[in-house]
A and B are shown apart, each in its own frame.
Chain A
């Protein structure tokens, strides 16, 4: 399934914004002095009048986006994930989520693959704090292709959304740009009967790699791309729990409150089976090369394989 190509999800965001800008004059884009990093610079170059640089002021940016949305605009507001979620959380809560305004908070630099900038710039708790807000939709695309489709999908849907993208190039799982992307509907990437790996973001590619290895060892692993963390695809989770009776989640996020927690919330109430989380332990990370950080903080296919074996063993008890 994997193509040979790698691309950062933020690059696909830049492309999608330009296409959206051509299609709809009500698309406006805001940034907080990071347009070259978030890739909103692509939009800025083509539509300077509809690009609003708010300077280093994320709280003001979210409020300004809300004011634009309240006036009928579709406002995309971008910065790094740490700032778009944490720095401006109360503005997202009061000015976006509560009034259900049509603001799309699309953040880059999610997770530890930010790399060398270190803990201050590595968002590991953003999914937890944003999904706690009523009315929010939370999406973590797996690759560049899915990012493009997700951006188009959030633009077409009316309401607040948080889309988390990454800094580093990640494997392009599928080049099928015309394939369906439905907010809240997960994608079955691989059939399997012994265990289900539910992943999001760059961990989807790692999950597929892990499933390949596991199949050689006789373990049949289902792989689900859970691109939408909220509203989460309950049906797919319940079916996985009932049919494979063990689940492993994989995400580039803290073990507290992210995808693993969201899946556990459903499984506990609907179909209790073991859920093992592959995620960053409850800690701040550090500077380093993205690949080294993934290794050190336990986010490799190897870690998924270990978790799968643990889950399968628990199932047998």
Chain B
């Protein structure tokens, strides 16, 4: 609690404002280009705001700074949220967000590390991110570097076998410079995770794979996310997973918990309504 007490009210307000801007960007980008994945982008928005504007050591002026922290967005379809955060962090112009999914743009439908500074890994085929993060965490240990590796995965994504291969690997190697955040929004394209292929008790699964588990974290409460991220980086001897309870489509009433908005962009009217809702919201969830 000490750290949270030390975190100024101004900083909390700033992070909430960033999250609000990311939400607006997601809706504007997807509404503008007519395709993309709003649900899973909105569910990780507050987590990304905490990572980019509180936790991660990064330098937009030197994107390949060797000592930077790294984020792998394993659930690559949430790219719009990541692009917005990178733009707000100064990696590229705000204006460039409008090029999402357009021919010739570096803002590909799913992240492409070869075309955009700040993207640590190309992702999109689910389940691959933790293995990448493990490789980066092993490299940091080999080089005796102190930076951390972050990886965001989805709960539908956790049905991929490679997630568990990688979980076993990181647990075995005690990669305590790795924090994985599970965007636990309970939905996947075809419906509820529990109806399609349930993975509860999820916290027990990760504990069984020798991970430090921080669960029951409200993935939209900035103070709770920050506290969990700080606890994770203090933990020694095993990798940490933060199980963040989130709401798919968070912040837009008609998208919340609605699988229809997994991979469907809002139309013109919906875009307007969504932006009105976000603008008028305190975003203090």
Contacts and interface: CB of A to CB of B under 8 A. Distances in A.
Interface of A: 28, 49-50, 52, 54-55, 57, 59-73, 75, 90-91, 93-95, 98-100
B165 A67 contact: no
B120 interface: yes
Interface string B92-126: 00000000000000000000111000001111110
Main secondary structure of the interface of B (DSSP, over half): helix
B21 interface: no
Contacts of A75: 135
Contacts of B143: 71
Interface in B117-139: 120-125, 128, 130-139
Given A59-B162, A63-B166, A95 B131 contact: yes
A64 B113 contact: no
Given A55-B169, A65-B135, A66-B132, 15 more contacts: A28-B142, A55-B165, A57-B169, A59-B131, A63-B130, A63-B131, A63-B135, A63-B166, A67-B134, A67-B139, A70-B121, A70-B135, A71-B139, A94-B123, A94-B124
Contacts, number: 104
Given A67-B136, A70-B136, A91-B131, A55 B114 contact: no
Contacts of A54: 165, 169
Q: Which of A52, A64, A91 has the most CB of B within 10 A?
A: A64
Main secondary structure of the interface of A (DSSP, over half): helix
B161 interface: yes
Interface string B151-185: 00000000001100110110010000000000000
Contacts of B122: 94-95, 98-99
B137 to A, nearest CB: 8
Contacts of B120: 70
Contact of A73 (B113, B128, B131, B139): B139
B128 A94 contact: yes
A60 B121 contact: no
B149 to A, nearest CB: 8
B33 interface: no
Contacts of A60: 131, 134, 162, 165-166, 169
B140 interface: yes
Contacts of A52: 138
A67 B113 contact: no
A99 to B, nearest CB: 4
Contacts of A66: 121, 131-132, 135
29 contacts: A49-B142, A50-B142, A55-B165, A55-B172, A59-B165, A60-B162, A60-B165, A63-B130, A63-B135, A64-B135, A64-B138, A67-B131, A68-B135, A68-B136, A68-B138, A70-B120, A70-B136, A71-B135, A71-B140, A72-B66, A75-B135, A90-B125, A94-B122, A95-B121, A98-B112, A98-B114, A98-B122, A99-B121, A99-B122
